Amino acid sequence: MPEKPVVFVTRRLPGAVEARADRDYDCRWNETDAVLGADDLIEGAKGVRGILTCSTERWNREVIEALPDEVEIIATFSVGFDHIDAAAAEAKGIIVTNTPDVLTEATADIAMLCLLGASRRVHEAQAMLREGRWERWNPSELLGPGLQGKNLGIVGMGRIGRAFATRARAFGLNIHYHNRSRLAPEQEAGATYHEALSTMLPEVKFLSLNCPATAENADMLNETTLGLLPKGAVVVNTARGALIDDDALIAALKSGHVAAAGLDVFKNEPAFDRRYLELPNAFLLPHIGSSTIETRDGMGFRCLDNLDAHFSGRPAPDAVNR
């Protein structure tokens, strides 16, 4: 019987995923489940052919170039792969794979939760209840903007953006979107396309970021772009924290130009900007967009599918750098 390929797994994973990984591979587990730094990543990769990692680990150029030559593939337990220098990996002959498709529905659900939580002032309402400040029903208390008939702008109409648009339509929202290219009519489903972000922002009461983080769109929501939104707009981000200039959004939330924000992702998470915690109009979640049993199992199985394909001599189906 051939030896199982040795795989370095940088985080503990759902039980069903770990069971399959142990069945098919000689796994080197990070038993502590601590987030590993550069030295530990390089050390853990010694003597392995594959790496199964998460978005918590940073595989920058220096780490990639220091990896042993035996490493053939890095499978990340995420759709985004901005934590991996894919170009450096390709230059070193290392395949990088991600987990598309499986997060779509769960993340779109959380985007809807963030939109509702922010617009209906859920954080403030829960705080009032939990702190014993709810004395009676008040006809003018905790009022927020309704969704029906309003315009929602979606930045990034990939799988998740389109799934979110489907949910939003059911709540009576009109869909506008900004994307690198216009969708086919059947995918657009009546949505209004804006080639430039600047033309969409003044038209929308609600804005949702659903695009990948790239060098080109870092801080895409900043003082200038926030200023283009109508006063009292609601901002949602379930994509990547790097898309938002925190100073600008916090200032807009304090001034009331942005009425509320629903955020599931942050820069430098979990060491996010603690000023958000002081804002009653910020509805905050700890990056739980994919937190369903089915989704997390599906992500792990997708990683293992890519490893299986590679080690059996077939192309990894979700390679992002080849």
- Known catalytic residues? 240, 269, 287
∠ at Cα 116 (115, 120), nearest 5°?
120
CA dihedral angle for residue 177, residue 178, residue 179, residue 184, rounded to 10 degrees: 40
Token digits of residue 249: 């959004």
Round to whole Å and give the CA distance between 222 and 247. 8
Contacts 24+ apart (CB under 8 A), 199-202: 200/153, 200/176, 201/153, 201/225, 201/228, 201/229, 202/228, 202/229, 202/230
Q: Phi/psi class of residue 142: alpha, beta or left (left: φ > 0; alpha: ψ in -120 to 50)?
A: left
Dmax (CA) of the chain: 73
Q: How many C-beta neighbours within 10 Å does residue 172 have?
A: 12
